[in-house]
């Protein structure tokens, strides 16, 4: 008793000597053999225990050496009895007889604090030492906490859990944030779509051009305020009002319906076959190795025939057209003026050449033209050469439907010059190309191509409505083509801004159902598509082009795609295997936060942005815009 009284007297004298100790919420405990680097144990009185809430930021002022550290509560606070161990029979007996006994043991609080760094002249440095035992611990107020966490900026995602008035904010115009690419992940019903709608609304307020690939037509009415009762009530609690986005444009494929056909700013578009990379097209069509080889052969022969028929270049002496031919990079785009019908005609010619009649005709053609014809291979007949004109093929020959029908003999001459084998592979290729043509999305004269320049207007929201396609392959064709077009226009805008000293318009591209676009099961067969996305990701920061991948199946996203993302908004995930995989991909989030992911309420998310000092638990703001398919 004398020792306890002496300790109390000493504590009172210490407070008189240092009045700041009265504001301490706890003190650091001694280390044990089970202590871990960067983790310290803090003990508090039962009165101060409620103040040490999880994820609270604290400052530790180390005694003896005078160092100052910042940390965050990652575990606890736990209530432990003072007089006996918590697992003792006496403690258990007192607690279980709570109906009869009003007496209980005095207790104290215990929490684990992760050190964020040592404060040196106003900046955080990696900690080289640990705070000494019995060092006072102070809670940071919300203003200082916001500064430490790096949550300043004009774009608010929602409220930080554990604080009364702190918002998770970021700077929407900072090239080191959104252009470093974002993943919005979580199971169905966790709040992903609300987060996307809120992000679209906030991005427009920041004058960012936002482009959404909408596979369900869910965002085709976001120009109207929400009328969902639960959302309206949540908006009232936040002091916000329901409102739609100001400048919504809806784009849909010609021949396909949209979920909002009465919208004023409605644009039909078709794809240009000539703008698609043949290698990306082969990946999307999931061609086998043999089919891929024959498709590229047919594509190369078609290029030569476009020269022969003067479709492109129309003038072999035109230097500009020749430059366009030489500049074609088939890993990113296609050959000018080529249509799918051109390629189908060449494939039909190959199938005919492998038939009995075609083989006979080929032998006859070979005997008439001698060794010169036998030596004329695909490589020998370059773009600048024209094959010998031959009479048109007999009516029993292949039927052509493009401009090639004006001289079938010229087509067959090119085909025989670059002969092939295995008729069955050609027929399988033809079947896939015919199915693609029947989609009727290429080179439709009734509509123009995608209006990229209009999409890239500041503050405009462009929704690509893919709700009526019923085909992941078709969606992927549209996404691949539009991504390429946006990147080209943004590159041009960046070069112009750099040349003239202006600013490039920030662009945010949101891809719903991202696991369908780049699947983990097919990533090895889709190197060209991945390289296209990777190129945008790598150049995005300087060109101000940010990608947002949205998926409820993150396990289907390849590691190569996850590696491109620096920002994450993670809603509820119940599958432990998926959480484990995400932990490996997102290394900045500590174990205590991951343990909460499976228990998150709808609308809550674990948010990690490159501008934040550490990940935060956030209650995402309700969307003020109207969404379809709202639960």
Is the pLDDT assigned to residue 433 strictly greater than 90?
yes
Please tell me whether residue 131 adopts helix, strand or coil conformation. Answer: coil
In percent, how much of the chain has pLDDT > 90?
Answer: 47
Question: Cα–Cα distance between 103 and 300 in angstroms, integer?
Answer: 89
Question: Cα–Cα distance between 228 and 629 in angstroms, integer?
Answer: 11
The tens digit of pLDDT for each residue in 383-403 reads 444 444 444 444 567 899 999
Is the pLDDT assigned to residue 370 strictly greater than 80?
no
What tokens appear for 404 in the block? 């090639």
The CATH number that domain 187-271+449-562 falls under is 3.40.50.300
The tens digit of pLDDT for each residue in 539-558 reads 887 889 999 999 998 888 88
Residues shown for the chain: 631
Confidence of residue 227 (pLDDT cuts 50, 70, 90): very high
Mean pLDDT in residue range 215-234? 94
Residues 6+ apart with CB under 8 A from 467: 214, 215, 216, 217, 220, 257, 258, 259
- Lookup result for tokens 């999880």: 54
Is the pLDDT assigned to residue 222 strictly greater than 70?
yes
The tens digit of pLDDT for each residue in 257-270 reads 999 999 999 999 98
The DSSP result for 140-179, as a single string, is PPHHHHHHHHT--SSEEEEEETT-SS-EEEE-TT-TTTGG
Lowest mean pLDDT of 35-44, 102-111, 152-161, 211-220, name the range: 102-111
Question: Cα–Cα distance between 173 and 202 in angstroms, integer?
Answer: 12
Task: Indicate the pairing of strand 136-139 with strand 26-28.
Answer: antiparallel
Question: Cα–Cα distance between 55 and 216 in angstroms, integer?
Answer: 37
Confidence of residue 210 (pLDDT cuts 50, 70, 90): very high
Measured in degrees and rounded to the nearest 5, phi and psi for residue 52 equal: -90, 55
Comparison of pLDDT for 456 and 98, the residue scoring more? 456
pTM for this prediction: 0.82
Where are the chain's structural domains? 2-145, 187-271+449-562, 275-438
Residue 373 has a pLDDT of 37
Mean pLDDT in residue range 442-461? 85
312: part of which helix (H) or strand (E)? none
Residue 465 has a pLDDT of 96
The tens digit of pLDDT for each residue in 475-488 reads 888 998 899 899 99
Is the pLDDT assigned to residue 251 strictly greater than 90?
yes
The tens digit of pLDDT for each residue in 312-354 reads 999 888 888 888 888 888 988 999 999 999 999 999 999 999 9
Mean pLDDT in residue range 55-65? 89
Is the pLDDT assigned to residue 105 strictly greater than 50?
yes
Residue 555 has a pLDDT of 86
């Amino acid at each position: 008793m004398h020792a306890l009284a002496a300790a109390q007297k000493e504590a009172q004298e210490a407070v008189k000597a240092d009045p700041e100790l009265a504001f301490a919420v706890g003190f650091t405990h001694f280390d044990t053999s089970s202590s871990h680097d960067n983790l310290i144990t803090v003990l508090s009185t039962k009165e101060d225990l409620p103040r040490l809430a999880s994820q609270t930021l604290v400052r530790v002022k180390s005694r003896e050496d005078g160092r100052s550290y910042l940390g965050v509560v990652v575990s606890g606070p736990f209530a432990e009895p003072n007089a006996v161990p918590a697992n003792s029979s006496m403690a258990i007996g007192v607690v279980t007889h709570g109906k009869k006994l009003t007496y209980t043991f005095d207790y104290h609080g215990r929490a684990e604090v992760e050190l964020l760094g040592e404060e040196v002249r106003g900046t955080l440095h990696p900690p080289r030492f640990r705070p000494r035992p019995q060092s006072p611990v102070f809670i940071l107020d919300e203003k200082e906490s916001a500064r430490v966490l790096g949550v300043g900026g004009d774009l608010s995602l929602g409220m930080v859990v554990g604080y009364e008035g702190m918002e998770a904010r970021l700077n929407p115009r900072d090239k080191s944030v959104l252009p470093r690419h974002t993943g919005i992940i979580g199971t169905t019903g966790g709040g992903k779509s609300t987060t996307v709608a809120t992000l679209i609304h906030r991005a427009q307020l920041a004058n960012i051009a936002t482009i959404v690939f909408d596979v369900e037509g869910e965002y085709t009415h976001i120009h109207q305020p929400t009328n969902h009762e639960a959302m309206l009530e949540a908006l009232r609690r936040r002091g916000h009002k329901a409102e739609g986005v100001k400048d919504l444009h809806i784009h849909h494929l010609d021949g396909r319906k949209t979920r909002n056909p009465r919208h004023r700013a409605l644009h039909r578009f078709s794809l240009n076959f000539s703008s698609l990379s043949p290698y990306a097209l082969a990946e999307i069509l999931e061609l086998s190795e043999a089919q891929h080889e024959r498709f590229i052969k047919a594509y190369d022969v078609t290029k030569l025939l476009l020269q022969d028929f003067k479709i492109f270049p129309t003038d072999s002496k035109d230097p500009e057209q020749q430059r366009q031919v030489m500049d074609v990079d088939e890993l990113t785009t296609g050959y000018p003026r080529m249509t799918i019908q051109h390629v189908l005609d060449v494939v039909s010619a190959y199938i005919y050449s492998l038939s009995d009649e075609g083989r006979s005709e080929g032998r006859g053609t070979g005997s008439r033209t001698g060794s010169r014809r036998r030596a004329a291979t695909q490589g020998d007949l370059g773009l600048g050469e024209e094959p010998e004109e031959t009479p048109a093929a007999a009516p029993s020959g292949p039927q052509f439907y493009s401009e090639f029908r004006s001289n079938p003999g010229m087509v067959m001459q090119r085909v025989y010059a670059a002969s092939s084998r295995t008729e069955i592979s050609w027929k399988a290729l033809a079947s896939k190309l015919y199915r693609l043509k029947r989609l009727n999305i290429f080179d439709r004269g009734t509509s123009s191509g995608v209006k990229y320049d209009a999409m890239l207007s500041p503050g405009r929201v462009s929704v690509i409505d893919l709700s009526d396609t019923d085909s992941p392959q078709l969606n992927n064709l549209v996404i691949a083509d539009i991504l390429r077009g946006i990147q080209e226009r943004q590159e041009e805008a960046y070069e112009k801004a750099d040349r003239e000293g202006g600013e490039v318009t920030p662009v945010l591209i949101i891809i719903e159902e991202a696991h369908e676009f780049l699947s983990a099961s097919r990533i090895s067969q889709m190197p060209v598509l991945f390289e296209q996305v990777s190129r945008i990701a790598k150049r995005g920061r300087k060109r101000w082009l940010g990608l947002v991948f949205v998926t409820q199946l993150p396990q289907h996203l390849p590691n190569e795609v996850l590696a491109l993302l620096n920002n994450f908004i993670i809603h509820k995930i119940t599958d432990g295997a998926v959480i484990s995989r995400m932990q490996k991909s997102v290394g900045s989030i500590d174990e205590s936060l991951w343990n909460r992911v499976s228990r998150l309420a709808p609308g809550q998310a674990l948010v990690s942005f490159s501008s934040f000092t550490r990940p935060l638990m956030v209650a995402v703001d309700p969307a003020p815009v109207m969404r379809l398919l709202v639960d």
